[in-house]
């Protein structure tokens, strides 16, 4: 009888142990799934937050670009048209001497030429005609040549990438990235030398952009990041590229970004 009771006790104990083990496993699985679920929700929230930040920066950049274009139109085009209008009024006036009319006509001609040049510059900033006709390499060469003419900065470019095989949108995005980087190097970096190096490895292409400017502390990039660099960051993300930055105070600035063939 004693053996029978001991046997029943052992079976009961074993069953209780197994039940406790099963309950523990179920609780562990439920908690693990809950943690995974919470992490997924947290990941989704971070993705949504990140996308919202990108959207906000893109809107800010777009508004800044509109403001800049409006400023160019107001300051350059409008003022020149007003000057032409005033000169035309003098030209029509009976009080204006004949010898003065020649000078006025020359003035109108000169202002008109500057107005055309300015309008072309604005159109170039919106969409470079040379890019549409001859491709990215020609557009970059023209951009670099314009900067080099100023003698304030010397820019060199080396490339083994065949840009002509890319779609128009990708070429335009890369052009805007380089344009913004050059502007930042001159305006904020006070650079006198800039180098562009485009390399290719199968379908992955890399642009290595460097200058000899004042540089900055990379750890404080988020604190000093303005609309200019946010614009660069957004465009690199739009072409599904990655980037890395290397810079030190007094040692210039370098950025590497990748882009794929379309």
Q: What is the pLDDT of residues 147-171, one digit of tens each?
A: 898 888 999 999 998 888 888 888 9
Alpha-helical segments (H) within 127-167: 129-134, 136-149
Assessment of whether the complete model's pTM goes beyond 0.85: no
| pLDDT value, residue 198 | 95
Tens of pLDDT, residue by residue over 22-43, are 778 888 878 878 778 777 787 7
Token couple for 243: 């980037």
Q: Mean pLDDT, to the nearest integer, of 123-129?
A: 73
Burial class of 255 by CB neighbour count within 10 A (0 to 12, 13 to 18, 19+): buried
Burial class of 42 by CB neighbour count within 10 A (0 to 12, 13 to 18, 19+): exposed
Go through the domains of the chain in sequence order and give each one's CATH number. Answer: 2-124 (no CATH), 127-260 (3.30.565.10)
Token couple for 72: 């160019």
């Amino acid at each position: 009888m004693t053996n029978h009771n001991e046997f029943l006790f052992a079976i009961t104990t074993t069953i209780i142990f197994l039940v406790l083990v099963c309950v523990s496993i179920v609780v562990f699985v439920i908690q693990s799934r809950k943690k995974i679920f919470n992490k997924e929700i947290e990941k989704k929230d971070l993705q949504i937050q990140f996308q919202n930040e990108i959207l906000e920066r893109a809107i800010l950049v777009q508004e800044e670009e509109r403001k800049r274009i409006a400023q160019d139109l107001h300051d350059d085009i409008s003022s020149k048209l007003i000057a032409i209008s005033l000169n035309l009024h003098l030209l029509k006036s009976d009080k204006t001497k004949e010898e003065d009319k020649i000078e006025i006509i020359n003035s109108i001609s000169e202002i008109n030429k500057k107005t055309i040049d300015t309008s072309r510059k604005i159109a170039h900033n919106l969409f470079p005609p040379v890019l549409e006709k001859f491709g990215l390499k020609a557009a970059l060469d023209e951009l670099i040549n314009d900067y080099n003419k100023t003698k304030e900065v010397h820019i060199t470019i080396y490339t083994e990438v065949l840009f002509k095989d890319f779609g128009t949108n990708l070429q335009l995005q890369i052009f805007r990235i380089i344009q913004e980087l050059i502007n930042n190097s001159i305006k904020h970096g006070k650079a006198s030398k800039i180098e562009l190096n485009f390399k290719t490895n199968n379908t992955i292409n890399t642009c290595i952009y460097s200058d000899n400017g004042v540089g900055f502390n990379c750890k404080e990039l988020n604190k000093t990041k303005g609309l200019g660099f946010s614009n660069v960051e957004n465009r690199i993300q739009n072409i599904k590229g990655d980037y890395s930055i290397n810079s030190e105070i007094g040692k210039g600035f370098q950025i590497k970004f990748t882009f794929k063939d379309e």
